[in-house]
Amino acid sequence: PDDGYRLWLKYDLIKDAPKREAYARSAQFIALNGTSPILKSAADELQMGLQGLLGRTVPIIANAGSRTGGIVLSVASAPNVGAQSLAADGYQIVARKAGNITIFGKNDSGVLYGAFALLRQLQTGQQVENLSLTSNPKIQYRMLNHWDNTNGTIERGYAGESLWKWYELPNTVDPRYRDYARANASLGINGTVVNNVNASARFMTAEYIEKVAALANVFRPYGIRIYLSIYFPAPKTIGGLKTADPLDPEVRKWWADKTKEIYKVIPDFGGFLVKANSEGEPGPQDYGRTHADGANMLADALRPYDGIVMWRAFVYKADPKADRFKAAHEEFTPLDGKFDKKVIVQVKNGPIDFQPREPFSPLFGNMPKTPLSVEFQITQEYLGFATHWVYEAPLFKECLDTDTYVKGKGSPSGGATVAKVIDGSVHQYAMTAIAGVANTGSDRNWTGNPMAQANWYAYGRLAWDHSLSSEGIADEWVKMTLTHEPKAVKTITDLMLKSREIYVDYNTPLGLSRPWSGVHFAPEPWQEKSVRPDWTAIYYHRADSIGLGFDRTATGSNALAQYRPEVQQQWSNPETCPLPYLLWFHHVPWTKKLSTGRTLWDELCTRFYTGADSVVWMQKQWAQVKPAVDPAIFADVTGRLITQRKEAIWWRDSWVLYLQTYSKQPIPASLPKPE
Ligand code: GCW
């Protein structure tokens, strides 16, 4: 039985014998001209992959000479077969008739990515004859962020403990670290922040730097650089200084020395990720300084090295009168142009916090002089942890493909989408980055729910190329991970593509948000008290006797004013605002007729009920693929779907019964009676 450990790098024998033989004829040797560790990884991966897929050992040789029928790895500029030239990390695969398949890489990493791309061709059953494929990453820093703590726990992790065994490191190096690196490299991920943004200062101690260096040694041959989250007052807590003021010379020296110490053992260290003056974390504002002052101090410390600062824009104040939606834009746009050129500001996809559906953050497009990166959450904090099956590519794409209109209407090349802001094409950013909060853990299958592997996969593929489609990525992943049986592939991809909308329907339909209790798992829309006013549910949904939803138009918080007029136009009129965003921007009366012909109340009930019922549909669809997928994976997912069904009903009933205390209306008779 399949324990899910191999992820999408399964390399099982290709069952179609003629196809397998055809592949084998083009893969009789692997010629590797070079000795760098990354090139060696490429050749080794190809050899291992081909061993599994073709059932034979393909030799690695130093030089193809006049031999044909093999695979040649080459760091070189691509020949003139495509219009595109290669960018850093880019690759081109060219198969010549009666010749070789050559993988050209712009650099060593490009060759490695090309090797994985060739394996993917085979794994998904594509032609390799006459293959001509050029691929360049659209984004430079393709990052995973781990919210992992020194004690092995993971903040918002649902797949076991941390992968990093801090107590054993640096002397015991779990072979699993290498498989982690292989999986990431197969997607083109080239950076990983190994510790939580709510950072412990211990990561800056010699004790931990040595442990982190041991991980870096494993990741390096896969083109992955290590980064660390920092605790802003570390100069005080572990450095013995009286202050952590970023303008204090001693503090600046402390960071410069610390950075030097890190680079001594991790020469390709990537840099720092910072959560500061956010959710109670300390930061430069504690000393009357700005985010830019804090970030620029760290940039200065990194000056002698090829490292960068990723400064998060996840900020909001505990003010019941304010609208948290507006906070990041208010705090950060005045700082545009004030950040050092080594700084990227990392912005969550939405203005609040990784909700099942959010409008895009109004920061995108509004920081023309500051490179912005987008941060997505792969781990399912608000998406049902590891039980609910939610394929996230449509969520990522929805944000990436939205037009910010900062270049006006009908701007060339399809508008100034969020994707084009972060890939630098809108404001010509000098650096580009994207981050995903990892869903990995010590569970044998890495992600708890085996279907959640697809979210890691989809994030990585989109980090490389945001123009890929959710459908295409799902199709690839299913074929590489679960089955090639055409009907089952269709059934599973269809399930995946609908899964997020189904979740939204029973969880937060029509633009509702944040109905969770403490750990963000159970429904608690009735929550009115918390340690902070903006940590209650009522703050977000604003239910009252008249209606539901947060008025963010000019009659309310006017958060809409942070967007361009064209965007405001889409959302500001409750009559025309698309239903998925309605309650994000409007307080709508219970009796208001919506475009569906139903009143708000009836529409809400309909969504909660059809959403929960759709999980039964998911169960039925999944049952059909039983003969085509591994029995262990089939049983695992079947079990999770039973739980998901139970919890979907829990969500439905919690919302309906609670909101009914305000709407004072019956559940529409047309809906099925609760079981
Ligand atoms: O969504 C919230 C999470 C916190 C997290 C924070 C952040 C790491 O509930 O657990 O802290 O976002 O992104 O900083």
pLDDT level of residue 414 (50, 70, 90 thresholds): low
**DSSP bridge pairs for 101:** 71, 95
Concerning whether 286 is annotated as a catalytic residue, the answer is no
Concerning whether 129 is annotated as a catalytic residue, the answer is no
| Ligand 1 pocket: which of 145, 146, 147 to mutate (most atoms within 8 A of CB) | 147
631, 619 in Cβ contact below 8 A?
no
| Ligand 1 pocket: which of 377, 381, 437, 513 to mutate (most atoms within 8 A of CB) | 381
Query: What distance in angstroms lies between residue 64's CA and the mean position of ligand 1's atoms?
Result: 52
Least confident span in 87-96, 514-523, 558-567: 514-523
- In the predicted structure, residue 68 carries a pLDDT above the cut 80: yes
Quick one: what percent of the chain has pLDDT higher than 90? Answer: 93
Query: What distance in angstroms lies between residue 292's CA and the mean position of ligand 1's atoms?
Result: 21
Q: Which atom of ligand 1 is nearest to the CA of 155?
A: 10
Q: Could you tell me the fold of the domain covering 141-481? A: TIM Barrel (3.20.20)
Q: Which atom of ligand 1 is nearest to the CA of 437?
A: 13
Neighbour tally for 279: CB within 10 Å: 14
pLDDT digits (tens, 9 = 90+) for 106-156: 999 999 999 999 999 999 999 999 999 999 999 999 999 999 999 999 999
Chain centroid to Cα 668, Å, comes to: 39
Instruction: Round to whole Å and give the CA distance between 13 and 21.
Output: 11
Going by C-beta distance under 8 Å and a sequence separation of 6 or more, which residues neighbour residue 68? 98, 99, 100
22, 129 in Cβ contact below 8 A?
yes
Among protein residues, the one whose CA lies closest to atom 12 of ligand 1: 353
Residue 80: predicted pLDDT? 56
Question: Residue 68: CB within 6 Å of ligand 1?
Answer: no
HSE toward the beta carbon, residue 94, CA cutoff 13 A = 15
| Ligand 1 pocket: which of 149, 154, 155 to mutate (most atoms within 8 A of CB) | 155
Q: Which atom of ligand 1 is nearest to the CA of 520?
A: 9
Which among 665, 398, 652, 659 is positioned nearest to 505, based on CA atoms?
652
> What rounded mean pLDDT belongs to the chain?
96
Question: Residue 156: CB within 6 Å of ligand 1?
Answer: yes
Among protein residues, the one whose CA lies closest to atom 11 of ligand 1: 198
Query: What distance in angstroms lies between residue 663's CA and the mean position of ligand 1's atoms?
Result: 33
Question: Residue 521: CB within 6 Å of ligand 1?
Answer: no
Residue 409: predicted pLDDT? 74
| Ramachandran region, residue 412 (left: φ > 0; alpha: ψ -120 to 50; beta: rest) | beta
Among protein residues, the one whose CA lies closest to atom 1 of ligand 1: 353
- Which segments of 188-248 does DSSP mark as H helices, in order? 206-219, 234-237
Helices (H) and strands (E) in the chain, counts: 19, 16
Q: Which atom of ligand 1 is nearest to the CA of 375?
A: 13
Question: Residue 325: CB within 6 Å of ligand 1?
Answer: no
| Ligand 1 pocket: which of 148, 193, 198, 385 to mutate (most atoms within 8 A of CB) | 198
- Which segments of 550-630 does DSSP mark as H helices, in order? 565-571, 582-585, 600-624
Which among 183, 200, 190 is positioned nearest to 234, based on CA atoms?
200
Query: Which residue intervals of the chain bear CATH 3.30.379.10?
Result: 17-135
Instruction: Round to whole Å and give the CA distance between 380 and 377.
Output: 7
Burial of 555 from C-beta contacts in 10 A (0-12 / 13-18 / 19+)? exposed
pLDDT level of residue 659 (50, 70, 90 thresholds): very high
**CATH number of the domain at 17-135, please?**
3.30.379.10
| Residue of 281, 323, 331, 353 marked catalytic | 353
Residue 322: predicted pLDDT? 93
Query: Which residue intervals of the chain bear CATH 3.20.20.80?
Result: 141-481
Question: Residue 275: CB within 6 Å of ligand 1?
Answer: yes
Q: What is the mean pLDDT of residues 387-410?
A: 94
Residue 274: predicted pLDDT? 98
pLDDT digits (tens, 9 = 90+) for 458-472: 999 999 999 999 999
Q: Which two tokens stand for residue 431?
A: 């650096």
Residue 398: predicted pLDDT? 98
Q: Which atom of ligand 1 is nearest to the CA of 147?
A: 8
Instruction: Round to whole Å and give the CA distance between 227 and 592.
Output: 51
434, 142 in Cβ contact below 8 A?
yes
Query: What distance in angstroms lies between residue 229's CA and the mean position of ligand 1's atoms?
Result: 14
Question: Residue 407: CB within 6 Å of ligand 1?
Answer: no
Which stretches does DSSP call E strand in 250-290? 271-274
Residue 522: predicted pLDDT? 92
Least confident span in 363-377, 463-477, 516-530, 651-665: 516-530
Which among 347, 344, 259, 268 is positioned nearest to 309, based on CA atoms?
344
Question: Residue 622: CB within 6 Å of ligand 1?
Answer: no
Q: Which two tokens stand for residue 653?
A: 């009933």
| Residue of 268, 279, 524, 566 marked catalytic | 279
- In the predicted structure, residue 301 carries a pLDDT above the cut 70: yes
4, 450 in Cβ contact below 8 A?
yes
Query: What distance in angstroms lies between residue 653's CA and the mean position of ligand 1's atoms?
Result: 27
- In the predicted structure, residue 82 carries a pLDDT above the cut 70: no
11, 53 in Cβ contact below 8 A?
yes
Q: Can you give the length of the chain in residues?
A: 675
Query: What distance in angstroms lies between residue 198's CA and the mean position of ligand 1's atoms?
Result: 8
Q: Which two tokens stand for residue 538?
A: 């009522």
Instruction: Round to whole Å and give the CA distance between 443 and 163.
Output: 9
Query: What distance in angstroms lies between residue 149's CA and the mean position of ligand 1's atoms?
Result: 13
430, 371 in Cβ contact below 8 A?
yes
Query: What distance in angstroms lies between residue 364's CA and the mean position of ligand 1's atoms?
Result: 20
- In the predicted structure, residue 364 carries a pLDDT above the cut 80: yes
| Residue of 293, 358, 381, 613 marked catalytic | 381
Chain centroid to Cα 304, Å, comes to: 30
Among protein residues, the one whose CA lies closest to atom 2 of ligand 1: 353
Query: What distance in angstroms lies between residue 529's CA and the mean position of ligand 1's atoms?
Result: 20
Predicted complex ipTM: 0.99
Among protein residues, the one whose CA lies closest to atom 3 of ligand 1: 156
Q: Which atom of ligand 1 is nearest to the CA of 275?
A: 14
Query: What distance in angstroms lies between residue 131's CA and the mean position of ligand 1's atoms?
Result: 44
Q: What is the mean pLDDT of residues 396-421?
A: 88
510, 603 in Cβ contact below 8 A?
yes
| CA 311 to each of CA 374, 498, 638: distance values in angstroms, whole numbers, following the listed order | 11, 34, 41
Which among 511, 514, 520, 484 is positioned nearest to 630, based on CA atoms?
484
Query: What distance in angstroms lies between residue 632's CA and the mean position of ligand 1's atoms?
Result: 33
| Ramachandran region, residue 622 (left: φ > 0; alpha: ψ -120 to 50; beta: rest) | alpha
pLDDT digits (tens, 9 = 90+) for 185-199: 999 999 999 999 999
Which among 546, 530, 536 is positioned nearest to 515, based on CA atoms?
536
Instruction: Round to whole Å and give the CA distance between 301 and 65.
Output: 48
Query: What distance in angstroms lies between residue 156's CA and the mean position of ligand 1's atoms?
Result: 8
Going by C-beta distance under 8 Å and a sequence separation of 6 or more, which residues neighbour residue 506? 607, 608, 611, 612, 614, 615, 648, 651, 652
Residue 78: predicted pLDDT? 66
Neighbour tally for 395: CB within 10 Å: 27
Please name the helix (run of DSSP H) or strand (run of DSSP E) that holds residue 112, with its range, or none.
helix 108-123
| Ligand 1 pocket: which of 353, 354, 516 to mutate (most atoms within 8 A of CB) | 353
Query: Which residue intervals of the chain bear CATH 3.90.1330.10?
Result: 504-550+587-663
Concerning whether 353 is annotated as a catalytic residue, the answer is yes
Q: What is the mean pLDDT of residues 339-356?
A: 98
Question: What CATH architecture does domain 504-550+587-663 belong to?
Answer: Alpha-Beta Complex (3.90)
Which among 625, 649, 647 is positioned nearest to 637, based on CA atoms?
625
